[in-house]
Structure 1
Amino acid sequence: MEEIQQQNQNLLIKELSIDQKAAFYRKTYTHLAFAVLLFVLVEMIFFQIPAILKLAISLTEGWLWLVMLGGFMLVTSYAEKMAVSSHDRNKQYLALLLYVIAEAFIFIPLIAMAMVVAGDGGFEILNQAAILTLSLFSGLSAIVLLTKKDFSFLKSILAIGFFVALGLIIAGVLFGFNLGLWFSVGMVLLASGSILYQTSNMVHKYSEDQYVAASLGLFASLMLLFWYILSILNRN
């Protein structure tokens, strides 16, 4: 009986009934919402600890930013692999928690900049960025959910795009030039493509028991979009 139940849980989402698919989507987006709320909570806690604030902001200076970025990529890559490769729910939750904490830490300098640049309007900028991000995320997700189109072909395009973006970031730090507004616009487009890809994976690639892993993929794309929309608003 347990073997049969395990086999059913390992079925891909596209092989399930409409009701089972709906349940999987509901669980995925519920966990995504909890991940966002946890991100906000952890961010608020970080901003109450001067030592963490000082450390995060100090890591934005020169080549230290590359150290911070490299550490972030290692942690998030490990978390993604742990979540996707495992059917163990506890490991998936641990991976999601690691990802949320890493995102909250790397966002400290950007949010602090919004507060400094905008002054009393810092929270207004954060709200605007959040509304724009959620609106675009919802629209892109709806495209996939309504059309059921498989966007897996974006994988290689996104990989090349992220590789080029990383190269530009490294070059910008090493040679001291600002990547500018158009880089952020390009990254918004790349993040939008990532949302299409991750939502498509949720519809076609995951098994029934991997809704936590699916939510992690969506959360990663959502936060990437939020980062660069906030970066654009910080320039105004």
Structure 2
Amino acid sequence: MGLVLAAALVWPGRAAGVDMGPGSALATPRRWWRGRHVSTGRVEDLESLAGVADLLAMALRSGAAPVSALRVVAAQAPRPWRRVLEEVRDELATGGVAGAVWRRHASEREELAPLAGAWSLSEDLGVALAPSMATSAQVLRARVQARRRLEASTAGARATMRMLTLLPLVGLLAGFAFGLTPWEVYGHSAVTMACAVLGLVLTALGWLVCRRVLARAVAPREHT
């Protein structure tokens, strides 16, 4: 029982930005599967990507060509973004359209969307690339700040969930104090076994409900 409760504590939660609007019950399996393949990004990744965008903006403002800027930045970029920058550089070096490469990677890593949009605007409309990259860095840092505020605002609720989940373990510890094993406490009759199983089921159900409530509370709202 203790292992099951411990597993419940570390069970991965829903991403904060999941839409819980009408029809969400039918769409939940699709969102779960998509969530396994599309990453919304950790705070550390968002911060490092903002640094990459800043470096690109500085290199471009200094007069470097996009291919040269990408080569310089890719050499010192963090591992998650190095391969992306190298692919974009190679595409530009062969005369290709770099925006398509950005968009392809953005479909897998959502945090790349600002850079993909900035590069596509530059290619399609002639928008200056350096200011667009600087704006992308600002957007990413704003997301970092929003993510941290969100984590801080839900920290109390998550701590309460964990504390209430751990409370049943007090009974096990009391049993150990009297020399009783978990099996002797819960396994000596069908009634106690049924109560233990019911408790585990209700604990898991409570976690699912609490996570759903938190997801709805922190989900972004669309204003029309």
Structure 1 length-normalised TM: 0.31
Structure having the higher Rg: 2
Structure 2 length-normalised TM: 0.32
